Amino acid sequence: MRQDSESVVIYAYLSGFRSTGATFGEGGGVGASLLLAVNLTLGLAVMGILTGVILYDRSLKAASWWLGACLTAVLAGAFMYGLPHVQEVNLLRFVIFTMFAISNTCLAVGLAVRYAGAVSWRPFVAVLLTSMAAFALATEFVADLGLRRAIYQLPFAGIQLVGLIYVVRGMRPQFIDRAVAFVVGLSVAQFPVKSLLAYSYADPSMAPQEMLSSPYMAATLAITAMIWIILTMLLGTRMIIDVLDKMKAKSEIDPLSGLLNRQGFVNLVEHQNVLEQDGDVPSCLIVCDLDHFKQINDVFGHPAGDRVIKSFGEAIQAMANEGDVAARIGGEEFCVLLRHTDIIGAHLFAEALRTVFSTSIVSGFPEDKRLTASFGVTEIERGEVFEKAFSRADSALYDAKNSGRDQVAIRNAEDDEPKTPMPQARSA
pLDDT digit string (tens) for 293-311? Answer: 999 999 999 999 999 999 9
Res 356: pLDDT: 94
User: How many angstroms from the chain centroid is the CA of residue 367?
Assistant: 44
DSSP 340: T
Residue 35 has pLDDT above 50, yes or no: yes
Tell me if residue 395 falls in helix, strand or coil.
helix
Distances (CA, A) of 133 to 40, 88, 155, 273: 27, 20, 10, 53
Res 25: pLDDT: 36
| Same domain flag for 365 and 246 | no
Which residue, 230, 251, 272, sits at the end of a domain?
251
- Cα separation of 403 and 422, whole Å? 17
pTM here is: 0.65
| Same domain flag for 298 and 244 | no
Residue 419 lies in a domain: no
Return the CATH number at 398. Answer: 3.30.70.270
Distances (CA, A) of 126 to 102, 115, 158, 170: 12, 21, 10, 22
Phi/psi at 406 (nearest 5 deg)?
Answer: 50, 50
- The 10 Å Cβ neighbour count of residue 222 is 16
Residue 16 lies in a domain: yes
Does 286 or 274 have the greater pLDDT score?
Answer: 286
Which residue, 251, 282, 303, sits at the end of a domain?
251
| Same domain flag for 38 and 83 | yes
Does 164 or 131 have the greater pLDDT score?
Answer: 164
DSSP, residue by residue, 36-66: HHHHHHHHHHHHHHHHHHHHH-TT-HHHHHH
Res 274: pLDDT: 59
Residue 303 lies in a domain: yes
Phi/psi at 289 (nearest 5 deg)?
Answer: -145, 130
DSSP, residue by residue, 91-121: HHHHHHHHHHHHHHHHHHHHHHHHHHSS--H
| Same domain flag for 191 and 244 | yes
Burial of 187 (0-12, 13-18, 19+ CB in 10 A): buried
Show Cβ contacts of residue 181 under 8 Å, excluding neighbours closer than 6 positions. 164, 167, 168, 171
Of 17, 7, 8, 12, give the one whose Cα is nearest residue 40: 17
Residue 426 lies in a domain: no
Res 397: pLDDT: 95
Residue 286 has pLDDT above 90, yes or no: yes
| Same domain flag for 153 and 289 | no
- Cα separation of 365 and 383, whole Å? 45
Residue 385 lies in a domain: yes
Residue 172 lies in a domain: yes
Sheet containing strand 408-410, edge to edge, reads 325-328, 333-338, 283-290, 373-380, 408-410
User: How many angstroms from the chain centroid is the CA of residue 91?
Assistant: 38
Q: Which of 140, 210, 252, 332 is catalytic?
A: 332
| Same domain flag for 294 and 373 | yes
- The 10 Å Cβ neighbour count of residue 275 is 19
Q: Is 88 a catalytic residue?
A: no
| Same domain flag for 208 and 331 | no
Burial of 366 (0-12, 13-18, 19+ CB in 10 A): exposed
Res 5: pLDDT: 39
C-alpha atoms less than 13 angstroms from C-alpha of 375 in its C-beta half-sphere: 31
Phi/psi at 19 (nearest 5 deg)?
Answer: -140, 170
* Helices within 259-385 (DSSP H only): 262-271, 293-300, 302-319, 343-358
- Cα separation of 15 and 159, whole Å? 11
| Same domain flag for 244 and 339 | no
| Same domain flag for 184 and 91 | yes
Q: Are 351 and 421 in contact (CB under 8 A)?
A: no
Task: Provide Rg for the chain, Cα atoms.
Answer: 31
Q: Domain range spanning residue 206?
A: 5-251
| Same domain flag for 231 and 292 | no
Residue 16 has pLDDT above 50, yes or no: no
pLDDT in tens, 322-349: 889 999 998 999 999 998 889 999 999 9
Which residue, 251, 271, 289, sits at the end of a domain?
251
Total number of domains in the chain: 2
Residue 164 lies in a domain: yes
Confidence band for 199, pLDDT divided at 50, 70 and 90: low
- Cα separation of 81 and 104, whole Å? 20
pLDDT in tens, 99-115: 888 998 999 999 999 99
| Same domain flag for 12 and 98 | yes
pLDDT in tens, 371-424: 999 999 999 888 788 888 999 999 999 999 999 999 999 998 775 555 544 434
Query: Stretch 202-213: mean pLDDT, rounded?
Result: 54
Query: Stretch 167-195: mean pLDDT, rounded?
Result: 89
Angle CA(414)–CA(338)–CA(356) in degrees, nearest 5? Answer: 110
- The 10 Å Cβ neighbour count of residue 427 is 12
| Same domain flag for 122 and 29 | yes
Residue 72 lies in a domain: yes
Strand partners, 327: 260, 335
Of 286, 313, 290, give the one whose Cα is nearest residue 373: 290
Res 213: pLDDT: 60
Residue 23 has pLDDT above 70, yes or no: no
